[in-house]
Amino acid sequence: MTPTAIRTVRTGRLLHITIDRPGRMNALGVDDLVALDTAISGAEATGARAIVLTGAGRAFCTGADLTAVTGEEIPAARAGSELTDPTPTALQHYGR
Protein backbone atom coordinates (compact mmCIF):
# COMPACT_ATOMS: atom_id res chain seq x y z
CA MET A 1 0.00 0.00 0.00
CA THR A 2 1.31 3.43 -0.95
CA PRO A 3 1.66 5.92 1.92
CA THR A 4 -0.72 8.87 1.66
CA ALA A 5 -0.99 12.34 3.14
CA ILE A 6 -4.30 11.50 4.83
CA ARG A 7 -4.14 11.16 8.63
CA THR A 8 -7.10 10.20 10.79
CA VAL A 9 -7.61 10.42 14.55
CA ARG A 10 -10.84 9.53 16.29
CA THR A 11 -11.65 11.18 19.61
CA GLY A 12 -14.90 9.91 21.03
CA ARG A 13 -17.48 10.29 18.29
CA LEU A 14 -15.46 12.86 16.35
CA LEU A 15 -13.21 11.85 13.44
CA HIS A 16 -10.45 14.32 12.58
CA ILE A 17 -9.14 13.91 9.03
CA THR A 18 -6.03 15.93 8.18
CA ILE A 19 -4.51 16.38 4.75
CA ASP A 20 -0.87 16.36 5.85
CA ARG A 21 1.26 17.52 2.96
CA PRO A 22 2.10 21.14 3.77
CA GLY A 23 5.18 21.21 1.52
CA ARG A 24 2.85 20.89 -1.50
CA MET A 25 0.12 23.02 0.13
CA ASN A 26 -1.85 19.79 0.67
CA ALA A 27 -2.29 19.07 -3.03
CA LEU A 28 -3.86 15.62 -3.44
CA GLY A 29 -2.52 12.82 -5.59
CA VAL A 30 -4.57 9.85 -6.78
CA ASP A 31 -3.64 7.71 -3.74
CA ASP A 32 -4.54 10.58 -1.43
CA LEU A 33 -7.96 10.96 -3.03
CA VAL A 34 -8.63 7.26 -2.62
CA ALA A 35 -7.50 7.38 1.04
CA LEU A 36 -9.66 10.46 1.69
CA ASP A 37 -12.70 8.78 0.13
CA THR A 38 -12.06 5.65 2.20
CA ALA A 39 -11.73 7.66 5.43
CA ILE A 40 -14.91 9.64 4.82
CA SER A 41 -17.03 6.73 3.60
CA GLY A 42 -15.87 4.53 6.49
CA ALA A 43 -16.35 7.14 9.21
CA GLU A 44 -19.70 5.81 10.40
CA ALA A 45 -18.32 2.30 10.77
CA THR A 46 -15.70 3.65 13.21
CA GLY A 47 -18.45 5.02 15.46
CA ALA A 48 -17.85 8.62 14.42
CA ARG A 49 -20.86 10.94 14.34
CA ALA A 50 -19.05 13.98 12.91
CA ILE A 51 -16.00 14.68 10.75
CA VAL A 52 -13.57 17.59 10.99
CA LEU A 53 -11.58 17.92 7.76
CA THR A 54 -8.46 20.09 7.98
CA GLY A 55 -5.25 20.79 6.13
CA ALA A 56 -1.80 20.95 7.74
CA GLY A 57 0.19 24.14 7.36
CA ARG A 58 -0.99 27.38 5.80
CA ALA A 59 -3.32 25.97 3.13
CA PHE A 60 -6.36 23.75 3.45
CA CYS A 61 -5.90 22.12 0.04
CA THR A 62 -4.81 23.52 -3.31
CA GLY A 63 -6.56 20.76 -5.27
CA ALA A 64 -5.04 18.01 -7.37
CA ASP A 65 -1.30 17.49 -7.42
CA LEU A 66 -0.78 17.74 -11.15
CA THR A 67 2.82 16.56 -10.86
CA ALA A 68 1.52 13.23 -9.52
CA VAL A 69 -0.93 12.60 -12.36
CA THR A 70 0.55 10.19 -14.85
CA GLY A 71 -2.28 9.94 -17.32
CA GLU A 72 -4.52 8.10 -14.86
CA GLU A 73 -8.02 9.36 -14.37
CA ILE A 74 -8.52 10.93 -10.96
CA PRO A 75 -11.54 9.15 -9.40
CA ALA A 76 -12.93 12.29 -7.79
CA ALA A 77 -12.73 14.30 -11.02
CA ARG A 78 -16.07 12.90 -12.17
CA ALA A 79 -17.85 13.76 -8.93
CA GLY A 80 -19.19 17.09 -10.21
CA SER A 81 -21.04 15.41 -13.06
CA GLU A 82 -22.75 12.99 -10.66
CA LEU A 83 -24.08 15.56 -8.19
CA THR A 84 -27.82 15.69 -7.77
CA ASP A 85 -27.86 18.07 -4.82
CA PRO A 86 -28.32 21.70 -5.99
CA THR A 87 -26.34 23.08 -3.01
CA PRO A 88 -22.87 23.04 -4.68
CA THR A 89 -24.28 24.86 -7.70
CA ALA A 90 -25.93 27.41 -5.48
CA LEU A 91 -22.66 27.95 -3.60
CA GLN A 92 -20.78 28.46 -6.87
CA HIS A 93 -23.14 31.29 -7.84
CA TYR A 94 -23.29 32.85 -4.37
CA GLY A 95 -20.33 35.16 -4.90
CA ARG A 96 -21.39 36.40 -8.33
13-56 pLDDT, tens digit per residue, is 999 999 999 999 999 988 999 999 999 999 989 899 999 999 99
At 60, the pLDDT band (50, 70, 90 cuts) reads: very high
Check residue 65 and report its DSSP letter.
-
